[in-house]
Homo-oligomer: A and B are copies of this chain.
Amino acid sequence: MPDRIDINCDMGESFGAYKLGRDAEVMDYISSANIACGWHAGDPLVMDLTVRLAKEKGVAVGAHPGYPDLMGFGRRRMDLTPAEIESYILYQTGALFAFAKSYGLPLRHVKAHGALGNVAFVDLEVSKNIARAAARFNKDVIFVALAGSVMVQAAREVGVRYVEEVYADRVYNPDGTLQSRKIAGSVIHDPEKAARQALTMVREGYVIAHEGTKVSIKPETLCVHGDTPSAIAILQKIREELKKAAIDVKPMGQ
């Protein structure tokens, strides 16, 4: 039985005068921060403050690159060439690295944001482009791959370091993919339910899909959304249950 898990959350999504998220609170419950890099959210001042906050809280930092679409928060698919994707990921990863380095932190991981992530879940070539960009930057950077998606295959084919990620607060399909957010009830808001799903995945190695089947899944990192009303309650409950189960929360790949 695993004795540790990572909890990751998107951070640093404010921009200029616009505030988003409850980073200071959420940081108390997570072990890895996926920090926006200024393309779909975030700006250099926000990145600077967010990395500093992560350091203070002992949270590991990773890049959370997205499409060049601030107006759409990176949630709208764009048709990019492989060279475009690769260079966009490198650019954003390097930008975040500068802040991490200035605080003496390693840039631990790269996780694609929004529509870029959604495309990567199902498009092997896009997944490979992202994995390749991470590896071009640094062989030790961890590529965050959604468990059950083609990202895992991409990570293996490209030969990069990766972890398999699961969602505590999303409903699963019987094939191990996430149920579309367009379907009502696909996001779990009940802390008890989210914590139970998290524990089952981490400790037992499976998730119960929406129609009741057990799907085998072996996460190294657990994603929780930080911007929902119940985010803090869910995080508290998960930490509580993990503690009872004697499972440590530690950054991925340590």
Q: Which residues of A does B touch, CB under 8 Å? A: 15-20, 38, 41, 43-45, 47-48, 68-73, 75-80, 83-84, 86-88, 90-99, 101-102, 115, 136-138
Contacts and interface: CB of A to CB of B under 8 A. Distances in A.
A80 B16 CA distance: 13
15 contacts: A16-B71, A18-B20, A47-B87, A48-B90, A69-B78, A76-B78, A76-B79, A78-B78, A78-B79, A91-B98, A91-B99, A94-B97, A94-B98, A94-B99, A102-B137
Contact of A94 (B79, B80, B88, B101): B101
A102 B69 contact: no
Contacts of A102: 90, 136-137
A79 B80 CA distance: 12
Contact of A97 (B83, B98, B115): B98
B99 A95 contact: no
Contacts of A87: 43-45, 47-48, 99
A16 to B, nearest CB: 5
Which of A15, A71, A88 is the most central at the interface, judged by chain B CB atoms within 10 Å of its CB?
Answer: A71
Contacts of A83: 45, 48
Contacts of A17: 20, 41, 73, 75
Nearest to A138: B101
A197 B6 CA distance: 57
Contacts of A115: 79
Given A47-B91, A94-B94, A71 B15 contact: yes
The 6 closest A-B pairs by CB, nearest first: A94-B98, A44-B87, A18-B18, A17-B73, A44-B91, A102-B136
